[in-house]
Structure 1
């Protein structure tokens, strides 16, 4: 029983911004700290700051010998059952951080040479070099630390999709970065299945963390260790002969088996050898910084949830079947938001419906956060003010004109963004309206891409048939007409 079905949302995972978790059992994905750094928004910035602030506070306390302070901070890390994420079988129970395990994490950190010597700088480093810390523990620690912004996100989603919430729900521990203290309060949250529910944006979850101890040891650290043994011509060096007579050749080698036999493996060996070969860690981290830690695809998530793949024809029918006219404007807006959320994931995320600006004096039908790492929307963000992409939905039975263009361009600003989609049913004179969009752009009032039902159909076809759908040829071509 997933959230969408439990609350009769009439939506599938593709059209929801959050992970459509089972209300009782865990969904086998993790919240990735690295993914937070890829979210260019106030929400992402706040989460990154909270994680860095908490973890650096713990490390400073340990390095200063204030172990009581460090353990006190870690003791508040509890089982984050509220998200229903993780590897638990059956009822969600937060396998990673159970009773006493926060003490174990503190003990591992306090005894770790990697902490004392400064090899560990970030939370994900612990996966490489701290005994007993694995992907699920890092995910659970992250969830605890960013619980407060996740609660606000949950409340936003509940208001947006009309999910009922209970008042007076214990928030659980919340991290105050300013005072570097935990606190708690009573808040509003939905209750479902095994208890209170905190929703997590699907763009933040992964099936693995970016750092992997086995990968680092096998493909980076052992390589540096081998090169060192060869350079000093140690006892691990073997002479390999090939050919006969004058054609006989010799070469030296050091096997990984021999290295493991002499130095061992596991995190203790990783720490010891990383201190001897720090460039191995620097190389690994540099590679990971440049590596795209991409969100799961819609198909990935459907597979993990045991759900059927996205039915694009149904989403398109939801739009086309809405009668034209102001009476069904709200229904049309919901249908457009649903199909665009599915189409543009993971490039555009966190759709905020009826987003208020200017102290509530103006509203935007739908506001998306642009977090594209490739394709058309990434190109927009690199060359234009495109932190957000705004959508106005017009279910008119009449032709659109300058007033509709002016309404959308009036929502633009350098900080919010100056890119918008004006979506309507049809145009009597499409060429003329596109020229008006060009006039708006040339007057410096922002860039508006006008789309009708046929354009939405073309975007769906591109999404279905082109693996490089993030390029969005139709959108790029239409944008080029605004800037030529």
Structure 2
């Protein structure tokens, strides 16, 4: 039974910001440290800082021959069963870490030339350089380190989706980046199935990490090693003859099979040969920096969870079936948040409902973080102040006019963002309202894109036809009208 079912949320994975895990068994995805760097928010920045701070502290201890201190930090890592992520069969076990495995991680790190030489620069490097460290262990280490922001995220989602929490729950180890030590606390968290739950944003999970030791060794490091052997004219160089007579040709080669036979192919070999050929690692990491490590699609999530694909007709019906009027304003806002969250994932994430600004003197119906991965929202993030995208929902049976437009534009700021969607049931004069939005843009009061029920229907049709759709011609056309 998944979280949405257990708590009767009336939602599917498409409309939920976090992974809708089984409350007992593991869901076969992993938290990706690389994905943290792609999240342009205070949450993402804090998580990246915590991971870098912890790992740098461990490596500093190892390089300073303070192995006891390094091992103590790693021993504090626990099995993060509460996320229900990983590859355990049956009940979630958090198999990758524990006191024994943490010791093995320390032993591998402390004995690795990569750690002492400075080849290790971030957490995912360990997949390339350290024997016994793979995707599940990297994911579990990262989860432990960012547990504090994950707890706050879980609490926020619980309040937003009205999920009950229990007080006085052991937090598990929390990393203090200032004092560079572990501590623990008692916190509020949901309890279900096999114990406490810790929610993970679905934009942060992957089925594999970006770094792969086999890929790096075969396609980057071995190539450099071949070049070195050829330059030295070593015993591994073979002379290959082809053709006869005047067409006879010879060429020199070094096979990857011969290199593996001479040097081996384990991670100790990777470390030793990378020190000889640092350009191989630099090239690989540069390639990975430019490579998009994209979040899983909604279809990917459905398949992994064994759930039905996103029902766009149902999401649209949820919006259209809400009666017009103030009495159902909350229900309409909830339906709009569901369809918007599904439509614009993974570009718009972390919906913050009834977001307070100016010390609570003003509220925004829904505030999204703009990840700007691709398409229209990526274009916005490059050219305009669009760190967040704001949504105001008007379930009016009357005309939407200047007061509603001014209300949304007054929420904009250069730091928060200056892009908003005003979603309503219909416009008596759609062309006139768009002109009002154009006036607002010309007065440098931000950019408001108006959407009614028909526009939402057009957007869902576009997404249904193409699961990876991100260009959103309707939004781009409306935005072009504002700036032209």
Correspondence 1:432-447 to 2 at 5 A: 432-447=432-447
Q: Which segment is superposed worse, 244-253 or 374-383?
A: 244-253
Aligned to 1:111: 111
Contact kept? 2:372, 2:380, Cα under 8 Å? no
Aligned to 2:260: 260
User: Structure 2: which 5+ residue stretches go unaligned?
Assistant: none
Correspondence 1:271-282 to 2 at 5 A: 271-282=271-282
Aligned to 1:171: 171
Q: Which segment is superposed worse, 383-392 or 369-378?
A: 369-378
Aligned to 1:23: 23
Deviation per residue, 1:128-178 (Å, 9 max, x gap): 011111110000000000000000000000000000000000001000101
* Structure-2 separation of matches of 1:233 and 1:261: 17
Aligned to 1:411: 411
* Structure-2 separation of matches of 1:452 and 1:231: 68
Correspondence 1:277-426 to 2 at 5 A: 277-426=277-426
Aligned to 1:60: 60
Give 1:241 deviation, angstroms: 1.4
Give 1:387 deviation, angstroms: 0.1
* Structure-2 separation of matches of 1:79 and 1:86: 11
Q: Which segment is superposed worse, 159-168 or 94-103?
A: 94-103
Q: Which segment is superposed worse, 118-127 or 229-238?
A: 229-238
Contact kept? 2:299, 2:467, Cα under 8 Å? no
Partner SS, residue 100 of structure 1: helix
* Structure-1 separation of matches of 2:422 and 2:455: 11
Give 1:321 deviation, angstroms: 0.5
Q: Does 1:476 align with 2:476?
A: yes
Partner SS, residue 389 of structure 2: strand
Q: Does 1:138 align with 2:158?
A: no
Aligned to 1:192: 192
* Structure-2 separation of matches of 1:9 and 1:153: 18
Give 1:249 deviation, angstroms: 1.3
Contact kept? 2:370, 2:377, Cα under 8 Å? yes
Aligned to 1:203: 203
Partner SS, residue 211 of structure 1: coil
Aligned to 1:123: 123
Partner SS, residue 224 of structure 2: helix
* Structure-2 separation of matches of 1:9 and 1:104: 41
* Structure-1 separation of matches of 2:371 and 2:181: 31
Contact kept? 2:420, 2:449, Cα under 8 Å? yes
Deviation per residue, 1:390-410 (Å, 9 max, x gap): 000000000000000000001
* Structure-2 separation of matches of 1:467 and 1:297: 8
Partner SS, residue 58 of structure 2: helix
Give 1:239 deviation, angstroms: 1.2
Deviation per residue, 1:406-428 (Å, 9 max, x gap): 00001000000000000000011
| Closer, same or farther: CA 193–467 of 1 in aligned 2, 3 Å | closer
| Closer, same or farther: CA 78–467 of 1 in aligned 2, 3 Å | closer
Aligned to 2:237: 237
Q: Which segment is superposed worse, 360-369 or 237-246?
A: 237-246
Deviation per residue, 1:286-342 (Å, 9 max, x gap): 000111100000001111001111110000100011111111100000000000000
Correspondence 1:52-91 to 2 at 5 A: 52-91=52-91
Deviation per residue, 1:104-129 (Å, 9 max, x gap): 11111111111111111111111101
* Structure-2 separation of matches of 1:466 and 1:26: 29
| Closer, same or farther: CA 99–468 of 1 in aligned 2, 3 Å | closer
Give 1:366 deviation, angstroms: 0.3
User: With structure 1 as the length reference, what TM-score do the two structures score?
Assistant: 0.99
Partner SS, residue 95 of structure 1: coil
Q: Does 1:156 align with 2:156?
A: yes
Contact kept? 2:79, 2:96, Cα under 8 Å? yes
Q: Which segment is superposed worse, 467-476 or 371-380?
A: 467-476
Deviation per residue, 1:446-478 (Å, 9 max, x gap): 000000000001101111123652111110111
Give 1:204 deviation, angstroms: 0.1
Contact kept? 2:75, 2:98, Cα under 8 Å? no
Partner SS, residue 366 of structure 1: strand
* Structure-2 separation of matches of 1:174 and 1:71: 16
* Structure-1 separation of matches of 2:373 and 2:242: 48
* Structure-2 separation of matches of 1:123 and 1:427: 52
